[in-house]
Structure 1
């Protein structure tokens, strides 16, 4: 049985954020905002795996394209394992993720983005395509973040630098997203451009409207 991976980003008010974090704190210990202080970052081997990823970042981790895309090589699965090891899947954090996503406004088109894929994780595809240094410019830690309005404004310049791509660089990133989604998932028709444009749209909307923002990866 295959899993569907969802990456969803939306806006929340600072007041909603305080309420959610307060409720989470009452329920038990939880990393309030995934990022450099979150448990996954301190896990053994993170620095070593980041160094390895930097060493192969310019390479293709997929074989020669066949029907439906190239096959994933051993290094592609190693990168998957690294991404997976950086995700806090504890019950407390999962409950917080679900509570935050429940506050997103479906009618707020500018302030909501989601990408879903069977077998493949959309954020992992984006991270592979961007490479480690640009990925670490994005807020939070590998797709998970929880920011108040001040933190949104502070992180926006780095996110814009990482995701505002044009010309040959954008084409390369789109092709690498496609390689991941077809080599590891069932997403040949996935909108690779949306993975670049959607997150930035939400962060800019949050900054304009004085709201916080959150991004979470969910598995079903």
Structure 2
């Protein structure tokens, strides 16, 4: 009975695991699976490497972009700031006004105009020439432009003709010799009428006449 069971088990084992023919080596299933997986992973790694190598060859190398040159965009050096001269107080500006027309009150008229602008240091007088048509003014070269422009505008608004110049020397800051105002007429000059010289007339003195003396008569 026991022999029969052993025989049955042996037959079943031979059926599930048939004997290997002579000269053929039976491969183990575990090693074959590992080998297949290793080959698969190797193929994947090779494929990935080939993909990245090909992609890097296709991408062009990045070249530096040159900065465009803009004409006129050169760096401009900032000039050094020049010191602004301090403004001159109007009350310190010395002004000389000379009447050059011979018309009374012309120097005082301009003196009043200048005072309304804030100038107070003003001297008035008469010029040596009393028949000026144009107004002349001499400015000191040390005066700021604002003073020169203000006084010049006042003169141009008041007088027919204005002549200006600057000087580095002078006893005053502004010297003005007045001319004819707009709408004014020159003062007529007085000419002396010559007195006629009387002519000398000669008067003839009478010639004396001799009267005859009586001759004596005889008694």
For Structure 1 versus Structure 2, the TM-score category normalised by the shorter chain is under 0.3
Q: Which protein, 1 or 2, shows the higher relative CO under an 8 Å CA cutoff with sep ≥ 6?
A: 1
Which structure would you say has the larger Rg?
2
TM-score by length of 2: 0.20
Q: Which has the higher helix share?
A: 1
TM-score by length of 1: 0.20
